[in-house]
Amino acid sequence: MKITSILTEDLIQVNIPGKDKDEVINAIIDLSAKSQKIKDIDKVRQAIFEREKIMSTGVGKGFAIPHGKTDAVSDIVAAFGITEHPIDYQSLDHEPVRLLFLLIGKDSLVGAHIKLLSRISRLMNKEELRNTLLEATSPAEILQILKEEEMNYLDV
């Protein structure tokens, strides 16, 4: 499954508002509520924050993958955002975060959820891609950048 097969322009936002980790996570969860696949946004929010309590999803290099699994979605949902300002996210490398990739998995689709997390991590591990995304000014541009990157580098 391609990341860009579940990510659409309406689930991408440049300049996600927020001054701290909880605010930007809430903002990207609110963005994900545009998906018709979400049945209960409060349960989604609970799943994401419960996962965050276990360990920060700030994986490093200015990037975070807030994620969780819940029966409150009918299928896997993704959202992507760039914060207005660098956010202290308690990341593994202690660097601030600007790039957020939200992934909400369905309880019964654990395998697909894990594969997508892996693909997102592989993509976002590329410094050139992260820098290009930070320069993007629209959801359409971000989606196109991600599509091109998936075409060129992923075995999907």
Name the residues annotated as catalytic.
67
What's the Cα-to-Cα distance from 2 to each of 16, 111, 112, 138, rounded to whole Å? 24, 14, 10, 21
- The alpha helices in the chain, defined as continuous H runs, are 21-32, 41-54, 110-124, 127-135, 139-153
Residues 133, 99: Cα–Cα separation, whole Å: 8
- Selection from 11, 30, 143 nearest residue 77 by Cα: 11
